[in-house]
Each structure stands twice: as C-alpha cells, then as structure tokens.
Amino acid sequence: MNDRIRAEEYLTYERKIPPEIFNWLDKKDLIAQDKLGNVIFKWKQQGEIVGADRQGTSPMKDGRMFKEIDKNSRGSPGFSVDIGKPNSIYLFETPIEALSYWGIKKEKLQNTRLVSMTGLKRQTMIDEIKRMGRKGHKVKQITFCTDNDKAGREFANKYQRLMNKEVFKIDLPANKTGI
C-alpha cells in the first residue's frame, strides 16, 4: 500500500478537506502520494489513468507550492469526481479548489461532476460536456467556479455569453485566492 500520510495531512489539516472526502478519494484510487510527498490527483477515463496533477505538500525555497501536470498526461481531461449520476458540471482551476468546494457544499451537491481544468482550459470544459453526453448524462447546468480574479471572471463570462445562458451559472469565491 502506498504511503499517503503527508498527502492526507496536507489535504485534511492544512487545506481543510474533510477526512471522509480524502478517504473516499483514496478508496476510489483517485489520489496518491509520490516519493517526495506530493499529492497526485489522477485523471481517469473509463477506469484508466490518462494523466495527473501533482501538488506539493510543503513550500519550496521561494515560498511557492510545487504544482505540475505529469509529463505523460494525455489529452485535456483533468481531475474529476462524480457525485451521484451527474447532470451538472462544476468547473474549477485546481483539484484542491474542487475538493474544497465539495467539502463546503457536500450536503447540497448531488448528481454533479466536479472538474479541475488545471488552469483555464476551454478544451477541458468542452471535452467534459462531450464525455457526459457519450455516457448518456444530459447536462442540465454548468457552473463556473473559477478564481475571482481578472482571468477567472473573463473566462466564466466569455463562455456564459457564448452558450445557453440558462444552463450556465457563475459561483466565484469572494477573493482572488479561491476557496
């Protein structure tokens, strides 16, 4: 069994992800910890790992946190989690923002797919809509949960204007740093 102690401590104690969400992700094999103690968020499609995000669990020398997409990642799926049988998509910039949102709204989220675009990636959004359609899930709502900074607001507003406005909602956090 892979040691996940640093990943668990970072996500549950430092980032305040509820332990039951961490345990659920671990049981579903959606997270891991690498040899350096970084959290690995696995991108899965049809049960196959197609990529991953890595998130550092302690600051680097310059004070920033390590973040990267694994070099062997294929396509643009990003990290995603299904809650029930999804008919709505919630789009985030990072896996941790998606998990934080789930932790805060867990009583209200049903039949939802939480998706990290690992930034602001139009293709990830489009691919998720198509993927849900191929699996027979009708998308009733898409909610943008991007950062409340200039880039996040512009991304959410642009795609809300371009598509059916009744399907799209924007739920920006109160500040630039996200949730």
Question: How far is C-alpha 10 from the chain's CA centre?
Answer: 16
Q: What residue has token string 């694994």? A: 70
Q: pLDDT (tens digit, 0 to 9) for every residue of the chain, 179 residues total?
A: 357 889 999 999 999 999 999 999 999 999 999 999 999 999 998 888 999 999 999 888 998 889 998 888 887 788 999 999 999 999 999 999 999 999 999 889 999 999 999 999 988 888 888 888 887 878 888 899 999 999 998 988 888 776 665 555 566 665 444 44
Q: In what order do the strands lie in the sheet with 141-144?
A: 80-83, 112-116, 88-92, 141-144, 168-170
Confidence at residue 127, expressed as pLDDT on a 0 to 100 scale: 87
Q: Output b/e per residue, 124-142; b: 16+ Cβ within 10 A.
A: bbebbbebbeeeebebeeb
Confidence at residue 77, expressed as pLDDT on a 0 to 100 scale: 80
Q: What residue has token string 């939480």? A: 114
Amino acid identity of residue 147, one-letter, is: D
- Number of Cβ within a 10 Å radius of residue 15: 18
Confidence at residue 165, expressed as pLDDT on a 0 to 100 scale: 55
- Indicate the angle between helix axes 19-27 and 95-105, nearest 10 degrees: 120
